[in-house]
Amino acid sequence: MSKNCRLPDYTEYHFQPKEGLLYMLEGILIVAAVGCFFYHSWIACLCLAPVLFLFLKEKKRELAKKRRQELSGQFKDMVLALAANQKAGYSIENAVREAYRDMEMLYGEEGMICVEIRYIIAGLENNVVLEKLIYSLGMRSGLPDILQFADIFAIAKRSGGNMTDILTKTAVMIEQKTDTDKEIQLMLGARKTEQKIMNLIPFFMILYIDLTSPGFFRVMYETVLGRLVMSACLAAYLLSLFLAARILNIRIG
């Protein structure tokens, strides 16, 4: 494997040009809405520019998490394919090569696991031990399941353990954790929808009062004390968003 080849880091996420533009526009709209509703000032929108970068950072974190979840499922399928190939009599190295064909049919040649298997095959051809290649994937993915599998795999290979049994148990373990996570996310789905609706209620309330009682909030926008009160309200609003996101962010393992 070429030393100049940069392997993917799944703990980070980089926007594609079109994707980055869309999220940038979404962030600008959010900043503009906050500046207009809480301060009635375009200058405030400029002062709130750091919120845009926080929004983009949080979006990257969410997308990186989603990508790692997808990689975990694909890795589980790869381990099942390895176990099946081992049962068919292939050595573990040849089982990896055969598993690539199965993963290519499932996820296409540009699928994350297919890209990783190609790296592994290239490493094997350059006499890099398999356990080291799997451990590299675990470190870059940030997934405990893959790191634990790499450690167990290395110990089993050195001690001559039953590799087929280890592969099968590992796949079952990952599948159980994935299913549990899906069940939790399904149960939290309604709560997350409620949270999104609640996030918009303050804006609807301000808009409604502005339309039905023009000038009602004028003192809040034109006096120093009013702006301080609105700033305190904004801080409380952002804190509530942060706490709600953390409460609903349940992790397995």
Looking at residue 60, its pLDDT comes to 92
* Cβ proximity of 216 and 108 under 8 Å: no
Chain centroid to CA 219: 43
Distance CA 85, CA 178 (A): 23
Q: What would you report as the CA-atom Rg of the chain, rounded to the nearest whole angstrom?
A: 25
Hey, what amino acid is at 161? G
Sign of dihedral through CA atoms 19, 21, 25, 31? positive
Looking at residue 106, its pLDDT comes to 92
12: Cβ–Cβ under 8 A, 6 or more apart, which residues?
Answer: 60, 64
The two structure tokens encoding residue 108: 């296409």
Looking at residue 4, its pLDDT comes to 43
Look at the chain and count its residues. Answer: 253
Looking at residue 35, its pLDDT comes to 86
Whole-structure pTM value: 0.78
Distance CA 86, CA 167 (A): 9
Mean pLDDT for back-to-back runs of 10 residues, the chain (253 residues): 64 90 92 86 84 89 90 89 86 89 92 93 90 91 87 80 77 78 78 83 84 83 87 88 76 54
Residue 95 burial (C-beta neighbours within 10 Å; 0-12, 13-18, 19+)? buried
